[in-house]
Structure 1
Amino acid sequence: MFAKKIAIAAALLCASQAQAVAIFSDNFDTDTLDLNTTVFLGGWTVSGGTVDTIGPGNYDVFPGNGHYIDLDGSTNAPGLFSKTLSLTAGMTYTATFELAGNHRTSENDTVTVNFGSANGSYVMAGGDAFTPYSLTFTAGSSGPYSLSFKNDGNNNIGALLDNVTVTAVPEPGTYAMLLGGLGLLGVAARRRRQG
């Protein structure tokens, strides 16, 4: 009977652990609409240039979408828009985000995204709608990791960013360790019952 309880507990543990858990999410709707934004409620930083928080009443090219980020700012120097996250070794993390074209010119914008050791480059045509993308990596050690977005332009009209989420899923090796530990507990309990 005890072994059956251990098996049920292991199955429940794995089922709950196998699902992605959001550790960070930001849609920028609580941030103040502002050109050359420097303060973000989600803990973002801007270095080496500027970004703009735009939306209703402030260069709103996607009415009804709320607030979003123009990654090229208004100073002819696009900033590195980044967020530092404390991550755990052995966990797989996925950053999902939406990018759109600038919707004010026909020019393409290239956005470079870095998340831990993963990176991607995305070309957005001027008229592209918000499209979801993702980057996944496994943290090799516990500690701070950066998620960053950088527009390649310098004309004050950049690609747009919205709906950033980071989720975590334990690696399969973590499941094996959990199951192995539960198995050892089951063996110890059985021996104790027999002894």
Structure 2
Amino acid sequence: MRLKSLLLAVTAAAALCSGVASASTELIVNGNFESGDYGQINWGGHQLQGWTTAGYNFLFSGSNVDHGGTPGSYGNLQLWGPNNGSANGLQASPVGGNFVASDGAFEVSPLSQTVNGLVAGQQYNLTFYWAGAQQSGFSGATTEQWKVSLGGETQSTAVKNNVNHGFTGWQKETFTFTATGTSELLSFLAVGTPAGVPPFSLLDGVSMTAAVPEPQTWGMLGLGLGLVGFAARRRKAKAA
């Protein structure tokens, strides 16, 4: 009976580990940017729930990105696309809805959020969709990139080379970070060239979850397996 009880405990611990691995808690608030005011973020009363910035960063919908534009401190801003003279294939992100566009060479400032509920020493997978675009009304080739930081750790996407009036297309990126505390600052900093031809890095679908079950969960499973092995050896010795 003792051995049976131990086996049941180990099975329960294994199920817990599986549940943590397959259904990790989402740690990002408003990662799809659906809760916010269209326009330059944190300017003129425009807010983006869960996020802060002091730079030339904008919230767009799929409909106003190349038609009508969205308001900012220097007037309405559009990106080059089919509705304003460029057949570059500009489209909404794979997750649809709103997305952020950040100038990587003018009034540059990161888009940031404090992530809570972390476990020090735990690894976390950060995934997001991103693309390169250009401000309508300007001409010339550009480059776009994101530098992404969690606490003191920074990782960078590849640099995208963008043709005149171009759009690079969306791609999915995954970075793995190790937390050093229970709360850390996550930031996305757009980096682009040249300054005179506004390069915009686009962002959507930001998500962060634990990469593996938390250390204490694995510890519970290891302890249970050890107890089962010990009990089995005792039963074998007793039978002999």
TM-score after normalising by structure 2: 0.65
- Alignment-mate amino acid for residue 68 of structure 1: F
| Superposition pairs of residues 122-133 of structure 1, within 5 angstroms | 122-126=158-162, 127-133=167-173
Aligned pair 1:46/2:56, yes or no?
A: no
Equivalent-residue separation in structure 2 for 1:135 and 1:170 (angstroms): 14
Q: Any unmatched runs of 5+ in structure 1?
A: 191-195
Equivalent-residue separation in structure 2 for 1:27 and 1:103 (angstroms): 21
* 1:165 maps to which of 207, 210, 223: 207
| Superposition pairs of residues 122-161 of structure 1, within 5 angstroms | 122-126=158-162, 127-140=167-180, 142-153=181-192, 154=195, 155-161=197-203
Counterpart of 2:38 in structure 1 is: 33
- Tell me whether 53-62 or 161-170 shows the greater mean CA deviation: 53-62
Distance 1:108 1:151, change over 3 A: same
Equivalent-residue separation in structure 1 for 2:23 and 2:175 (angstroms): 14
Asked if structure 1 preserves the Cα contact closer than 8 Å seen for 2:149 and 2:187, the reply is: yes
Equivalent-residue separation in structure 1 for 2:204 and 2:215 (angstroms): 33
Counterpart of 2:108 in structure 1 is: 78
Identity %: 26
Q: Any unmatched runs of 5+ in structure 2?
A: 70-77, 82-89, 233-240
Equivalent-residue separation in structure 2 for 1:32 and 1:172 (angstroms): 36
Distance 1:77 1:182, change over 3 A: same
- Alignment-mate amino acid for residue 150 of structure 1: L
| Superposition pairs of residues 176-187 of structure 1, within 5 angstroms | 176-182=218-224
How many residues were matched structurally? 186
Two-structure CA RMSD over aligned residues (Å):
3.1
* CA displacement at 1:183 relative to structure 2: 5.2
Deviation per residue, 1:114-144 (Å, 9 max, x gap): 123241243123321111111112223x332
Counterpart of 2:7 in structure 1 is: 4
Distance 1:118 1:94, change over 3 A: farther
Equivalent-residue separation in structure 1 for 2:91 and 2:168 (angstroms): 15
Asked if structure 2 preserves the Cα contact closer than 8 Å seen for 1:112 and 1:122, the reply is: no
* CA displacement at 1:46 relative to structure 2: 0.5
Equivalent-residue separation in structure 2 for 1:143 and 1:176 (angstroms): 19
Distance 1:185 1:50, change over 3 A: farther
TM-score after normalising by structure 1: 0.78
Deviation per residue, 1:5-61 (Å, 9 max, x gap): 112212212211223512225111232211x211211x11103x2201112223375
